[in-house]
Amino acid sequence: MRNIIKKKVISLKPSATLAINERCKELIAQGKKIYRFGFGQSPFPVPEKIVEVLKKNAHRKDYLSIQGLPELRQAIATHLNKKTKNTFSKENVLVTPGSKEAMYLMHVVFDGEIILPSSSWVSYAPQAELANNKTHWLQTSYENNWFPTAQALEKKIKSIKSNKILLILNSPNNPSGTICNNFKELAQVARENKIIILSDEIYTDITFNNRYESISTYYPEGTLISGGLSKWCGAGGWRLGFLAAPSELHDFLINVKAVASETYSTVNTPVQYAAVEAYNGDYEDYKFKVRNILNSVGQYVYKKLKSNKIFMNPPQGGLYVMPEFMNSKFKSSAELCDVILKDTGVAMLPGSDFGFKKDKMVTRLSFTDFDGKKFLEGINTHNQLEDEVIEKYAPNVVKGIEELSKWSKNL
Ligand code: PMP
Ligand code: GLU
């Protein structure tokens, strides 16, 4: 047969996050004990009232407008304005089937080059590549909480020939679990150099200190925002996301919308109605509990795992920590993760999937292998949870961390 596959797609593998999820499912089906610290999915149920609204709207079968239900776009704009102190209107918002699709369409439309901090989420670089946008990695370090410094950003911008540049920032970050402390300085460099920023705010509602911070507050005219229901609302499988663009980038949004109209047409109707409830309703108590559980479990993992063999930052938001193993026995972080999975049943993702050099022994650990419904029902405190509570409601996390810690002692 002739080779009918485009060259750049031949080398594309299924996304690492989804691949580890499927691998874990297979291993579990074979009867193996697996600690599912690979895939990053919210363990919590969608709030009941939002599910009720979804059910009530299941009969709606007509296509909605390409850009999305106006009430939903308004609800998202209001949410963003409250959190970022901006002035989005419903015209500035495009509803998308997950924020991942919003980002992909953004790459399709954007004509320029992309700066990605390492660490960065697994899909940014492949999406850029698929859409023919050149990627430039910007190294970060533990000292700056795994975000770029303003000087490093400036230097990187100057090293790129094109003057059309887009930087992706994600805080709280996947995979490092840390938040950005220097948005103001980064915004100043971005403004001076007229670069565009995509602020990926999919985890920002689950910042553990409950301070929603967005670079768009400091650089509104040049910042696109993506977000959605997958993380704070536990609705990853509902595939509801958005892209918001300031009025200065309205043409860009309109072109993204045109590409949307030629691909997914419109996001599924009942979910859009349910999402209006998610953004307009008061879910502060749910969010508070979700943050408290994730924070408590995350700090537990940090406390039990960090040692002279494992280096890591305490998590500040989201679902992840990023342990670095002090060892030179393995050739790559991918090999390290394979051996750990074989030896202990602990599944993690290698740092190489997130833009780190292959020989940096960094991994991403998602501390979400617990029943979020039982956990939510079992606690009624807003205080940080005691170890006994975590042992009761997150036994797989506790056992998996114990196995990993034991394993690391022999490094
Ligand atoms: N950004 C980051 C950093 C992610 O981890 C994910 C995975 N959920 C996404 C974006 C995409 O999320 P979704 O498509 O479910 O909105
Ligand atoms: N974002 C999740 C993760 O990083 C998984 C979902 C996805 O990759 O689309 O594990």
Cα angle 97, 100, 104 (rounded to 5 degrees) comes to 105
Structural domain includes residue 53: no
Q: Are residues 104 and 39 in the same domain?
A: no
Whether the predicted model's global pTM rises above the 0.85 cut: yes
Task: Report the chain's terminal Cα–Cα distance, integer Å.
Answer: 48
Contact 17 CB / ligand 2 (< 6 Å): yes
Structural domain includes residue 398: yes
Structural domain includes residue 219: yes
Q: Are residues 29 and 113 in the same domain?
A: no
How far apart, in whole angstroms, are the C-alpha atoms of residue 39 and residue 37?
6
Whichever domain contains 249, its CATH number is 3.40.640.10
**Ligand 2 atom closest to 121 (CA):** 4
Q: Are residues 271 and 333 in the same domain?
A: no
- Of 236, 260, 280, the one marking the end of a domain is 280
Residue 404, φ and ψ in degrees, nearest 5: -65, -40
Rg of the chain over all Cα atoms, to the nearest angstrom? 21
Tens-digit pLDDT profile for residues 68-78: 999 999 999 99
Q: Are residues 271 and 292 in the same domain?
A: no
Give me ligand 1 centre to Cα 232, in Å.
11
Cα angle 296, 301, 303 (rounded to 5 degrees) comes to 90
Helix or strand run (H / E) with residue 387: helix 387-393
Give the position of tokens 């910007």: 138
Structural domain includes residue 252: yes
For the chain, what is the domain count?
2
How far apart, in whole angstroms, are the C-alpha atoms of residue 322 and residue 400?
15
Whichever domain contains 291, its CATH number is 3.90.1150.10
Q: What is the pLDDT along the chain (411 residues), one digit of tens a residue?
A: 888 999 889 888 888 888 898 989 999 999 999 999 999 999 999 999 999 999 999 999 999 999 999 999 999 999 999 999 999 999 999 999 999 999 999 999 999 999 999 989 999 999 999 999 999 999 999 999 999 999 999 999 999 999 999 999 999 999 999 999 999 999 999 999 999 999 999 999 999 999 999 999 999 999 999 999 999 999 999 999 999 999 999 999 999 999 999 999 999 999 999 999 999 999 999 999 999 999 999 999 999 999 999 999 999 999 999 999 997 789 999 999 999 999 999 999 999 999 999 999 999 999 999 999 999 999 987 788 999 999 999 999 999 999 999 999 988
Task: Find the domain containing 153 and state its range.
Answer: 62-280
Q: Are residues 234 and 304 in the same domain?
A: no
Q: Are residues 297 and 268 in the same domain?
A: no
Q: Are residues 35 and 160 in the same domain?
A: no
Ligand 2 site-directed mutation target among 24, 39, 203, most atoms within 8 Å of CB:
39
Structural domain includes residue 369: yes
